[in-house]
Amino acid sequence: MIDKQRVARSFNAAAATYDRYADVQRKMARQLLDSVIQGGPSPQRVLEVGCGTGYLTALLSGAFPKAEIVALDLAEAMVSEAKRRVATDRVTFIVADAEAWSATAKGSYDLIISNAAIQWFTQPQTVLEHWFRLLRPGGRLVAGTFGSDTFVELHHICATVEKEWGLPTQTHGLPLLSAARWKAWLDGAGWTETEVREERVKVEFASCRQFLSALKKTGASHSQSRLPLATERRLLKEVMNRYDREYAVPDGVIATYNVLLMEGKKTEKT
């Protein structure tokens, strides 16, 4: 189970460093905006879930200068950064748990957009149903997340070392879902014209240590390990050493991001 308080602490701690290390997330944000622009008329009311430091919020505000935007995030420090970046009364910022907020929220939005946030939800299928309710007929959902092959190299090394050392298999990182699972949930919640596009992005880092440090500086480090601290440290050292050997490239190492970009529409009333 994802500990939301722990997640909030991680992202609050990373608010000042997030933008420097979130290259993949920024690329996803631009792709989401392109999908919105190409997909139909400009939205007048927008709900952005997981606004972070406001990078996508600023893109939306610039692309749709007449739109009212509600932008929410779990981490108060992230929202503070977003407010500094996007200073306009057309954007209302809310600090809230998106799952709890979506369950009771009222309103009728033309667009619900979310970038790199829904993987942190404990009941994402239910949230998709709430978002369907919050959209007006003809409204759209556009969201980006990470799929089950994200950091496949790291997971492979961890599983190999755990097996060799006779350790129980641990969950390192979030339990990410496949494109097929998200597509099935969208269809099951009533969305039409659903699509989940998938891309594998290879990112280079100087070393495995630098890769893990960059994750922490975006707030995205997460582990459900229950190993003793001394064992965890030995495991981590061995994993980093092997990673640097097995996934080396000329300038360091590679890590795979399995990017998922999904869309759905709420059918117009007839």
- Look at residue 223 and tell me if it is in a domain: no
What single letter denotes the amino acid at residue 99? Answer: E
Q: What is the pTM of this model?
A: 0.94
- Look at residue 86 and tell me if it is in a domain: yes
Q: Identify whether the C-beta of residue 20 lies closer than 8 Å to the C-beta of residue 213.
A: no
Query: How many structural domains is the chain composed of?
Result: 1
- Per-residue pLDDT, 218: 95
**Per residue in 70-123, pLDDT tens?**
999 999 999 999 999 998 999 999 999 999 999 999 889 999 999 999 999 999
**Per residue in 204-213, pLDDT tens?**
999 999 999 9
Residue 226: count other Cβ atoms within 10 Å of its Cβ.
9
**Per residue in 57-69, pLDDT tens?**
999 999 999 999 9
Helix runs in 135-260, H state only? 152-165, 179-188, 208-217, 229-246
- Look at residue 133 and tell me if it is in a domain: yes
Q: What is the mean pLDDT of residues 32-41?
A: 93
- Look at residue 192 and tell me if it is in a domain: yes
CATH number, residue 35: 3.40.50.150
Q: Please give the residue range of the domain that contains residue 92.
A: 4-150+174-202+259-265
- Look at residue 215 and tell me if it is in a domain: no
How far is 60 from 54, CA to CA, in rounded Å?
10
- Look at residue 62 and tell me if it is in a domain: yes
How far is 78 from 148, CA to CA, in rounded Å?
26
How far is 120 from 174, CA to CA, in rounded Å?
8
- Look at residue 225 and tell me if it is in a domain: no
- Look at residue 116 and tell me if it is in a domain: yes
Q: What is the mean pLDDT of residues 148-166?
A: 95
